[in-house]
Amino acid sequence: MPLRVRLTLAYLVVAATLLAAGGILFTRQLHSGLVASVDTGLRTRADQLVQSVTHTSDEGINFQDDGTRLIAPRESFAQVLGPDGSVVESSEAIGGHPVLQSAELAAARQSERFLDHRLDGERVRLLTAPARRADGSPWVVVVGTSLAPSEEALGRVRTGLEVGGVLVVVAGALGSWLLAGAALRPVERMRREVADISAHDPAATIDVPATGDEIAALGSTMNELLGRLQRALRQERRLVADAGHELRTPLAILQMELELASRAGRTHEELTTAVTNAADETRRLARLAEGLLFLAGSDEGGVPLDRHHQPLEPVLTAAVGAARDVASPAVSLRVEAEEGLAAPVDALRLRQAVDNLLHNAVRAAPAGSEVVVRDWTDGGVVFVEVSDQGSGFPEDFLPHAFERFRRADGARTRQDGGAGIGLAIVRAIAEAHGGSAEVRNQDSGGAAVRIAFPG
């Protein structure tokens, strides 16, 4: 169901409920007020009749002489009942038959009471009042009036409320329909704009209304979402292009070596060289494919970890030992591990990150220099850093060091199969541990890459 229809229906339900509740409350208050007004008039007339009855000493009561009229104007009437319950005086409108039943008469002799009765099919309001004469005889005065005028007035009010309420609800529903349409028009416009955005549009945005309200906030949020999607799409396209570029060279070399090896008349040494070169390119392809699969997995759902609280020194020492096998003999490697330092880490992933850092460091380290791997803790955070004494990173490379397929110039060029994804893998591993990675140039020369994670 469209939101505009739901809003209008919700208004109808709420408005009808409020108007109905208000109308019922108002009519009840009005009814109570009308009855109170009737009761006030009845009490005034009853007091007059009681005075006449109690102040008369003879058996008869001449209501005309003392100015009290039993026959009041309009729908009012009265009766005076003697000690035996007989009608002593009565308005012509109700005749000489007592309006009270025997039980009501007995109660009326005790105290003043209001009663609702029906006379000739018409609802009337009665007030009974005891009137004890000087000789102690219990007389009863009954005054009453028709409730027809009050009921007619109440009926007219109810009709007015019903008709007016229906008109108000209908007019309000129409206004709600128009207001909802006006409020949702920018949303519909934004929806159409988003639907028209093409996957090939690299900078598509939607127009945000300058209202500063929730609709404008929605538009800004959608533009931010579009921006993130566009950046992700550009990154994916660049990843595919860069991966294709990286794969082209080793595949071409591998194809060339295999073609040369397949030619007739090749010597054993030439075949051995061709097969060795082909194996090197195959290993390079395998490393590149593994790295790309790792980064793709980190983009999808993060890096799966098998974390255990364990010492870090064995991991760093093993990584340095492996790096010595590929490093130049003129470059020394050293571990500075804090004694007893342990942290909840995945040892295999941490080793992978340190291996990547060492691979970069030993390629950039000049002869006679040193590569240092060290760890320490500060404020509950564990740090692992690999530093070298090479030429360092170019300053314009530092902000982009962890981007995929980014390479530095100078000493950090594409050597030994480097594809520019090693630092990206390091950052992904650090973030999977709840930490971060940082690259900097040291004041004393050389570069340092540090990863930090909670200890």
Q: Which domains does the chain have, with CATH numbers?
A: 3-154 (3.30.450.20), 214-300 (1.10.287.130), 305-454 (3.30.565.10)
Pairing verdict, β 342-345 and 308-311:
antiparallel
Number of Cβ within a 10 Å radius of residue 382 = 22
**Residue tagged 């100015």 (tokens):** 67
pLDDT tens track for 82-110: 888 888 888 887 877 888 888 998 998 98
Encoded tokens for 331: 């470059």
User: Terminal CA-to-CA distance of the chain, rounded, Å?
Assistant: 53
| Cα dihedral across residues 45, 51, 54, 56: positive or negative | negative
pLDDT tens per residue, range 253-307? 778 777 877 777 778 787 888 788 888 778 777 877 777 777 777 776 667 888 9
Cα 52 from Cα 63, distance rounded (Å) = 7
Express each pLDDT in 63-80 by its tens digit: 544 444 554 444 588 888
Q: Specify the pairing of strand 370-378 against strand 332-336.
A: parallel
- Integer angstrom CA distances of residue 338 from 342, 343, 389: 9, 12, 22
Average pLDDT, the chain: 83
Strands (E), 379-446: 381-387, 436-441
Lowest mean pLDDT among 256-270, 351-365, 393-407: 256-270
How do beta strands 77-81 and 381-387 pair? unpaired
Residues 144, 125: contact at Cβ < 8 Å?
yes
Element (DSSP H or E) covering residue 54 = helix 3-54
* CA neighbor of 86 nearest in space, from 68, 102, 110, 67: 102
Q: Locate 38 and state its tokens.
A: 């009737």
What stretches of 131-213 show up as alpha helix (H) in DSSP? 148-196
421: CB partners within 8 A, 6+ apart: 288, 291, 292, 295, 404, 405
Q: How many residues does the chain have?
A: 455
- Given a cut of 70, whether residue 58 has pLDDT beyond it is no
Identify the bridge partners of residue 381 per DSSP, sorted by sequence position: 378, 454
